[in-house]
Chains A and B, each alone.
Chain A
Amino acid sequence: EAGVAQSPRYKIIEKRQSVAFWCNPISGHATLYWYQQILGQGPKLLIQFQNNGVVDDSQLPKDRFSAERLKGVDSTLKIQPAKLEDSAVYLCASSTRTSGVTDTQYFGPGTRLTVL
């Protein structure tokens, strides 16, 4: 079974530029998560999709971050414009969860973003 794929693995941009990350979850997984992990901290949930609907985006800075999950499969996370404090690793995860309790999340390798 293929794991969660993310691209790019690394990205360096100047502040005020825009950037997009892509995630392909495990086939058949209904729920997709985007996390932001700042160095030395745990992952922080930015947005959770179930199929192509948003379940939770309470911690997504909506003035600059946007995410979509077309057709309930792949997802993209965009930052526009980027700030220095957006430097972090962006992790995508997926799970079979359709409702009810938390289940096992399968994480991708992450995208390391550096904003200069």
Chain B
Amino acid sequence: SQQGEEDPQALSIQEGENATMNCSYKTSINNLQWYRQNSGRGLVHLILIRSNEREKHSGRLRVTLDTSKKSSSLLITASRAADTASYFCAPGGYQKVTFGTGTKLQVIP
């Protein structure tokens, strides 16, 4: 399986600040996805970055991928209280995805 490990485990910031979370993995991948999970809800897909891409943007989200270091980062700019959630990375390839424990982000109004 391909498991992502998110870091830090928890992050607390003020509304308007930027939030950065990281993901490390161990096997080679074809793509990497980030998901968000609000409390008590299912996961929501945020963004997919392919292994031949280094950076991708979607609204206030910026994802980077460094395949040589087997790591990715998710940056949320100008955070809002509604961004309070757990964030999971999902390294993708031919094997099944194994989710880590996620980064729990709290945005304080």
Contacts and interface: CB of A to CB of B under 8 A. Distances in A.
Given A42-B99, A42-B101, A101-B31, A107 B90 contact: no
B92 A103 contact: yes
B40 interface: yes
Nearest to A3: B42
Contacts of A105: 43, 45, 90, 97
Given A45-B96, A48-B96, A102-B30, A108 B42 contact: yes
B92 A112 contact: no
B51 to A, nearest CB: 10
Contacts, number: 60
Nearest to A42: B99
A57 B92 CA distance: 18
Given A43-B99, A45-B98, A101 B92 contact: yes
Secondary structure of the B contact surface, majority rule = strand
B103 to A, nearest CB: 11
B102 A102 contact: no
Interface of B: 2, 30-31, 33, 35, 40-45, 48, 88, 90, 92-94, 96-102
24 contacts: A4-B42, A40-B101, A42-B99, A42-B100, A42-B101, A42-B102, A43-B88, A48-B96, A89-B40, A91-B42, A93-B43, A101-B30, A101-B92, A101-B93, A102-B2, A102-B90, A102-B92, A102-B93, A104-B45, A104-B48, A105-B43, A106-B45, A107-B43, A112-B40
